[in-house]
Amino acid sequence: MKQIWNLPKVDLIPFSEIDEKRPVLLVTSAPAWNAVKNNLRGLNIIETIEITEATTGYWDNLQSKIVNLNPEIVYAVGGGLVADAAKYISVKLNLPLVVLPTALSVDAYITAASGIRRDGCVYYIETKVPENLILDLDTIAKAPASIQAAGITDVMSIATGAWDWKFAHERGKNPAGMEFIPWVYDNAQSILSGVLDCAEAAGRGDRDGLKTLFDCLCMEVQLCNQIGHSRPEEGSEHYFAYAVENEMGHGLPHGDLVGPAILLIARFQGLDTLRLEKSLKACNVPINNIPQDTVDRTLQILPAYSEQHNLPFGIAHTLST
């Protein structure tokens, strides 16, 4: 581990109070922008790029079209895909980045990596942490219910991800640099408990509930930053989500795949799923959208898939269905 990443500086202000004089390169998606643009008249936008895919080839291509202008700062308005692309592009352009989440849908707003699709899997490449994040809880409370608090899945995945980490430890399968650390495991469990407690409030758009969900996302991310890997929160549930995405298509929100995957993997791990299910439902994460035959097929290929893509050892590697 050569460095420890930080979290963005967070400003808790309404989007309508933003007054940005520097020339802005806006990275966004059409639905997100249409939902909030009336509150963002304070941005001096000189160029806009819309993101619809998560491959570096696609991002490089978009970026190559903007060389004639001279933006001084990048603003990312939207969800996880937009944040990931904006982190990549702002590194390439060597510009500061401000992210404006329009929903608490993932942890990508505050991580130093961008998820990219390659060979039917999701890989994370190091990019950077946005310098600044503007958290407008009133805007988030108006986001579509299904994505507003869907980022709970990236904290709830501690239940199954940390289980995998311990499981790998017991089997002697954690490689150097990913050794099991009991106090980190305990910290992760405490963050998990915090997020389950706020699920109902966050799911109904309560401002304090959403703030607590954001706090839990930040603590989960910083815990992983400190140790240099994501094993406390990423395991077989994410592997299942990556694998099933190939059948379900790439347009689905992250939580739509990770949410049901948490329940599925938790059952294999012998965890009590009652509270997990209740919390997902409270945050309007759809848990029955993946057809049963697709679930079955994905479970069948999952051990070989996890092996093939070099995913860190977890229960996924051992499933025989």
Residue tagged 């599925």 (tokens):
264
Instruction: Tell me the closest approach of the beta carbon of residue 211 to Zn ion, in angstroms.
Output: 21
The one segment of 81-89, 124-132, 138-146, 153-161 that binds Zn ion by CB under 5 A: 153-161
Interior angle at CA 37, CA 198 and CA 150, nearest 5 = 25
Q: Residue 180, SS3?
A: coil
The pair of three-digit structure tokens given for residue 246, joined into one six-digit string: 């190939």
The one segment of 9-17, 152-160, 178-186, 213-221 that binds Zn ion by CB under 5 A: 152-160
Instruction: Tell me the closest approach of the beta carbon of residue 241 to Zn ion, in angstroms.
Output: 7
The one segment of 9-17, 147-155, 200-208, 297-305 that binds Zn ion by CB under 5 A: 147-155
Burial class of 268 by CB neighbour count within 10 A (0 to 12, 13 to 18, 19+): middle
Instruction: Tell me the closest approach of the beta carbon of residue 193 to Zn ion, in angstroms.
Output: 19
Instruction: Tell me the closest approach of the beta carbon of residue 80 to Zn ion, in angstroms.
Output: 8
Whole-Å CA distances, 301 to 70, 125, 238: 48, 25, 14
Instruction: Tell me the closest approach of the beta carbon of residue 164 to Zn ion, in angstroms.
Output: 14
Residue 272: enclosing H or E segment and its boundaries?
none
Among 136, 154, 237, 245, binds Zn ion (CB under 5 A): 154
Contacts of 312 (CB under 8 A, 6+ apart): 164, 168, 174, 175, 178, 229, 231, 235
Nearer to Zn ion, 24 or 108 (CB): 108
Instruction: Tell me the closest approach of the beta carbon of residue 27 to Zn ion, in angstroms.
Output: 20
The one segment of 53-61, 150-158, 197-205, 206-214 that binds Zn ion by CB under 5 A: 150-158
Contact pattern for Zn ion over residues 211 through 250, marking x by CB under 5 A: ----------------------------------------
Q: List % helix, strand, coil for the chain (3-state, nearest 5).
A: 50, 15, 35
The one segment of 69-77, 117-125, 148-156, 202-210 that binds Zn ion by CB under 5 A: 148-156
Task: Determine the residue type at 262.
Answer: I
Nearer to Zn ion, 25 or 150 (CB): 150
The one segment of 146-154, 192-200, 203-211, 268-276 that binds Zn ion by CB under 5 A: 146-154
Instruction: Tell me the closest approach of the beta carbon of residue 114 to Zn ion, in angstroms.
Output: 12
Q: Are strands 121-126 and 113-118 parallel, antiparallel or unpaired?
A: antiparallel
CA contacts within 13 A on the Cβ side of 33 = 15
Distance CA 26, CA 17 (A): 17
Nearer to Zn ion, 154 or 256 (CB): 154
Distance CA 2, CA 5 (A): 10
In the complex, which residue's CB is closest to Zn ion?
Answer: 154
Region for residue 92 given its phi and psi (left: phi exceeds 0; alpha: psi -120 to 50; beta: otherwise): alpha
Instruction: Tell me the closest approach of the beta carbon of residue 75 to Zn ion, in angstroms.
Output: 23
Q: Which residues bind Zn ion (CB under 5 A)?
A: 154
